[in-house]
Structure 1
């Protein structure tokens, strides 16, 4: 059974965690007494540190008499002592980012990733929703000389996909043009998450009649539209982790780089989109195998449909939890508000 900590023990523990987060160096009793002007003797602080170590909130390093937070200690810190808050400067930055409603959700999520990595100096990854709040606008066919043409697919939010087709002769170009006309007439204004179904049920039967090489062209357009339906993964600040002192060790660095390059690692973040609020995973709770000094802080955002997205910050266990939790929570709520507001506007049209 966990013993309740006294006010003195809580204060000493809090300062140890925050000092270690700031410096990466084990924390000793003399430093605590002088830097934080604690009204206790060095011996008293040492005794409390010994108690906190026995309770597994602190670990003692082999290189000094100082202490560092344990995994249990970090959990206790974020569950008990954290006081998240976002300063007004950051709120203004976020407001400016979300003020431009003409950008696609993909662009906004990417920019949120970049903002988070800049503010935290850590790595950010986001799993975007299925573009379900966007609607198909049109396909434009652009000839590229005599041998090929590109079909550019655009949503009402400016999300673009394209597909290039080889053109053998005028008949092939006529087939392509007919295919584009049918898609534009049938799908304009359809929510992106309904496009695949509409292609199969409404577009394909028409192409069977009007277009000679309907099967090849239909499959090509189907593949292009399916890109919209996939969860998009966005990164920013991958290199930031490489400059953390925890990864001066070559073997650790190699494991980290391998994990970042493995797409399966990011797929393991998918369950985070289904969890409510902010989740904090420390050490071996994260998707990063063999890396017990990594933490992942995530928050999901609702898209108003069956899918959700999430945004995460990845850093060492010695990350500034208070700052990161505040930012991840605040930005995810803003993303969610933007999506749901847009959906309400679409429903009212």
Structure 2
């Protein structure tokens, strides 16, 4: 257990290092933060904090920097998350626009967070899982082709173009679209593939001659909605952090961004606890880099699955600001989802 003096010294070391990126010495602490202790006393306390694993001593300076254990302790013990009114107003404005689909709101939240933090933001989750199939519209493109436009209730669109070899195939395509619209309108996107197999396919077997080809084409189009989405904003921001001036580190970062499977570890399970998770160094998708932190907050989609928003940056990122932002934004996303699904469930009763 740290003493009150040790806690104060440790807090100032972390916040000074986050701000400057330079190792922190006793004289700077004494003069800048007007600590009522001698330089020798501060050095002794810093040495104790180092022995306890909260600080590391660099080879190039007599100053100290926070350790991985220290950052975790700071986040769990000393952090006082707070979102200022300006940010709250930006979030309110974003969520007030009902013309945007939820996936668009999540993407714009990512962009807002990356702009406010100058770091990289990633959203994980099946963004379309919050939506329902609305209809398919068939648009002829000429004598020998047509495009089927699949639309959700939130405006998410997928297209599928068909080559039409004769009038009979056009009739089959129209019949197929009619069966899907009659059978599946209002179906949650997470359930459309199963419903296609169980409810639509048996009808097409009877009504449509070339049902197998058409069914597989629509199945492929619908599966695009259901795939796992990874959305990045501000990828370049992290590359300009001074910690990553080294070419090898830059190469590792870029490779990690391009490998979507790395981000699976940030995907929250349906039974994982809500709240903010802080991962540092080997705990992150950048397990081979010790100077990267990832702060994540999950949101419940109301459909036995979760999404998440994460911020990626150096270990000396401004934790107080980032934790506050991702927690506030994820809470608002979850509230929006729950309000929408709550209204739908009440209407169905």
Unpaired stretches in structure 1, ≥5 consecutive residues:
none
Structure 2 residue 16 is matched with structure 1 residue 19: yes
**Which of 60, 65, 84 lines up with 2:62 in the alignment?**
65
Residues 213-235 of structure 1 show CA distances to partners (whole Å, capped at 9, x for unaligned) of 10011011011111222232211
Contact 1:272–1:310 (Cα < 8 Å) also in 2 = no
Residues 93-148 of structure 1 show CA distances to partners (whole Å, capped at 9, x for unaligned) of 00111112232211111111111111111111111246343221110111223332
Q: Distance in 1 between matches of 2:275 and 2:265?
A: 18
| Matched residue, 1:308 | 306
Partner secondary structure for residue 189 of structure 1? coil
**Which of 320, 324, 333 lines up with 1:326 in the alignment?**
324
* Distance of aligned partners of 1:156 and 1:271 in 2 relative to their CA distance in 1, 3 Å threshold: closer
Q: Distance in 2 between matches of 1:29 and 1:343?
A: 55
Q: How does 1:164-313 map onto structure 2 within 5 Å?
A: 164-271=161-268, 274-313=272-311
Q: Distance in 2 between matches of 1:325 and 1:95?
A: 18
Deviation of 1:10 (Å): 0.8
Q: Distance in 1 between matches of 2:309 and 2:38?
A: 44
Partner secondary structure for residue 131 of structure 1? helix
Partner secondary structure for residue 17 of structure 1? helix
Unpaired stretches in structure 2, ≥5 consecutive residues:
none
Partner secondary structure for residue 62 of structure 1? coil
Structure 2 residue 143 is matched with structure 1 residue 149: no
Residues 66-117 of structure 1 show CA distances to partners (whole Å, capped at 9, x for unaligned) of 1100001101111110000100100010011111223221111111111111
Contact 2:269–2:306 (Cα < 8 Å) also in 1 = no
Q: CA RMSD in A?
A: 1.4
Structure 2 residue 53 is matched with structure 1 residue 51: no
Q: Distance in 1 between matches of 2:268 and 2:93?
A: 30
Contact 1:142–1:149 (Cα < 8 Å) also in 2 = yes
Residues 166-192 of structure 1 show CA distances to partners (whole Å, capped at 9, x for unaligned) of 222222222211111111111112222
Structure 2 residue 113 is matched with structure 1 residue 128: no
| Matched residue, 2:5 | 8
In the alignment of these two chains, the number of paired residues is 346
Q: Distance in 2 between matches of 1:132 and 1:31?
A: 52
Deviation of 1:35 (Å): 1.1
Structure 2 residue 78 is matched with structure 1 residue 78: no
Q: Distance in 1 between matches of 2:65 and 2:162?
A: 60
- Range that drifts further, 142-151 or 153-162: 142-151
Contact 1:123–1:314 (Cα < 8 Å) also in 2 = yes
Using the size of structure 1 for normalisation, the TM-score is 0.96
Using the size of structure 2 for normalisation, the TM-score is 0.96
Contact 1:272–1:299 (Cα < 8 Å) also in 2 = no
